Amino acid sequence: MTSTETNAGPPETSRPLRWLLRLLGVIERVGNKLPHPFWLFVLMAGVVIVLSGILDALGVFAVSPADGERVEITSLLSRDGLHMMLGEAVDNFASFPPLALIVAVMLGVAVAERSGMLTALLRRTVTRVQPKYLTFALSLAGISASVASDAAYVVLVPLGALVFKAAGRSPILGLVVAYASIAAGYDASVFITAGDVLFAGITTSAAELVQPGHVVSPLANYFFTASSAIVLALVITAVTEFVLTRRAQSIEVDGDGVDEELGSMTLSDAERKGLRNAGWVLLGIVVVVAAALIPPSSPARGEDGGVLDSAVVTGIAVVLGLTFLLTGYVYGRTTGSLTRAREIPVAMAQGVRDLAPVIVCCSSRRASSSPTSAGRTWARSSRSAGRSCSTTPTCRRS
């Protein structure tokens, strides 16, 4: 598809909209000048080290919210600080909660992505919707497509252009809606994603500052992310219909071959059967989980018979990983994209390779938070040395 400007020129833009576009341009230029997240975390680690020395020299202290005891700051440039940063660096990184959780989920997601199930699900979501709901459906699919990783951009962006053209609208507009939805709503979704698992691990680390042993489930953030996905989809729909649609009227697009391209994006009989079989597997998993949690005396429940501290909720990362793995494998067997069981570990290995950037960022992030994460060990050593400090994880030398 190619696009050309018409002689009519773009419609006149209102003054508030011009100011908004200028502001967005400034934000974009400033954002592009920011360094890689890895270096941001390295800089934050350096700031923490310098601040620890300054605050130690000033005699700054805090009061533990857990037991009301005084928590003094010790410089990370002192003997104890250097031993803690260097001697516990490996254990500090290995014990970072989000790292293990996100690996457990992504092992299953990798199988679902390798089989083509996630891509087919995105195509199925958009190609069968009514034209009047097209913008909202495309934006909601894009916002929730983070589970498909980079496949969301590869599949949904061109698909958005095609379905908009098939509906008699500008394919450029469909391309913009799909791209903006994926990029702007990456951490929101109507589904539980690896991001929820990552945030739960980080929040667990923070919660342990006040209550040791407290675990935050990935489900804790679900209602916020699900409602955020819907709100963002409504906002994108409103901006598209009331602002971008008028601006796209000045662009004329050559639509030769669009029908053939859209036809190639529709699901084949095998793909539809694969999604149907995967849906049955998903339903079976839901039934099994419900049957394990409904009986009050079920061993799957928590110690006090609760559901929130049950094995299913506290181990939701494993449940999600197995769900993606089983549904993806069934889809792959049905469509022929996964023909042998030996292809499953190959797909998992590829998923771990794709996590390499996350592991690098986690290492730098863990370095920037290391003074707080090693608090319990330091508290024990300080107490044995006769120092007056809290025995809770809030007794940090940061």
Task: Read off the pLDDT of residues 284-300 as tens digits, 9 standing for 90 and up.
Answer: 999 998 888 888 888 88
The closest alpha carbon to 65, from 371, 383, 382, 392, belongs to 392
Residue 293 lies in a domain: no
Domain final position from 245, 267, 289: 267
Together in a domain, 163 and 202? yes
User: Domain for residue 327, yes or no?
Assistant: no
Closest alpha carbon to 202 in 41, 42, 39: 41
Q: Is the pTM of the predicted complex or chain greater than 0.85?
A: no
pLDDT of residue 378: 38
DSSP assignment letter at 387: -
In a domain, residue 262? The reply is yes
324-360 per-position pLDDT tens digit = 999 999 999 999 988 888 888 888 888 778 777 767 7
Q: Which two tokens stand for residue 262?
A: 């859209």
Neighbours of 386 (CB within 10 A): 6
Does residue 138 lie within any of the structural domains? yes
Give the pLDDT of residue 235: 92
Do 105 and 153 lie in one domain? The reply is: no
The answer to whether residue 378 sits within a structural domain is: yes
Residues 88 and 150 reside in one and the same domain: no
Range of the domain at 92: 74-114+339-398
DSSP 3-state of 34: coil
Residues 100 and 158 in one domain: no
Q: Is residue 19 part of a domain?
A: no
Whether residue 177 sits in one domain with residue 121: yes
Residue 254 φ/ψ, nearest 5 degrees: -80, 115
Which one of 205, 235, 267 terminates a domain?
267
289 domain-assigned: no
The per-residue pLDDT for 325 is 92
Same domain? For 84 and 163 the reply is no
Q: Are residues 355 and 393 in the same domain?
A: yes
Q: What pLDDT does residue 47 have?
A: 92
> Are the C-beta atoms of 377 and 139 separated by less than 8 Å?
no
Domain count, the chain: 2
Q: Which of 267, 299, 330 is the last residue of a domain?
A: 267
Which two three-digit tokens encode residue 78?
A: 């002192």
- 141 and 99 in one domain? no
Whether residues 192 and 129 fall in one domain:
yes
Residue listed under structure tokens 């597997």:
281
Based on the fold, state whether residues 196 and 237 are members of the same structural domain.
yes
Question: Residues 352, 353, 356, 362: what is their CA dihedral angle, to the nearest 10 degrees?
Answer: 0
List of the chain residues with pLDDT < 70: 1-14, 66, 97, 148-151, 247-265, 358, 361-398
Q: What is the pLDDT of residue 14?
A: 67
Residue 90 inside a domain? The answer is yes
Q: Which residues contact 282 (CB under 8 A, 6 or more apart)?
A: 323, 327
Same domain? For 95 and 129 the reply is no
Residues 98 and 139 in one domain: no
Q: Whose CA is closest to 344, among 320, 327, 319?
A: 327
pLDDT at 131: 78
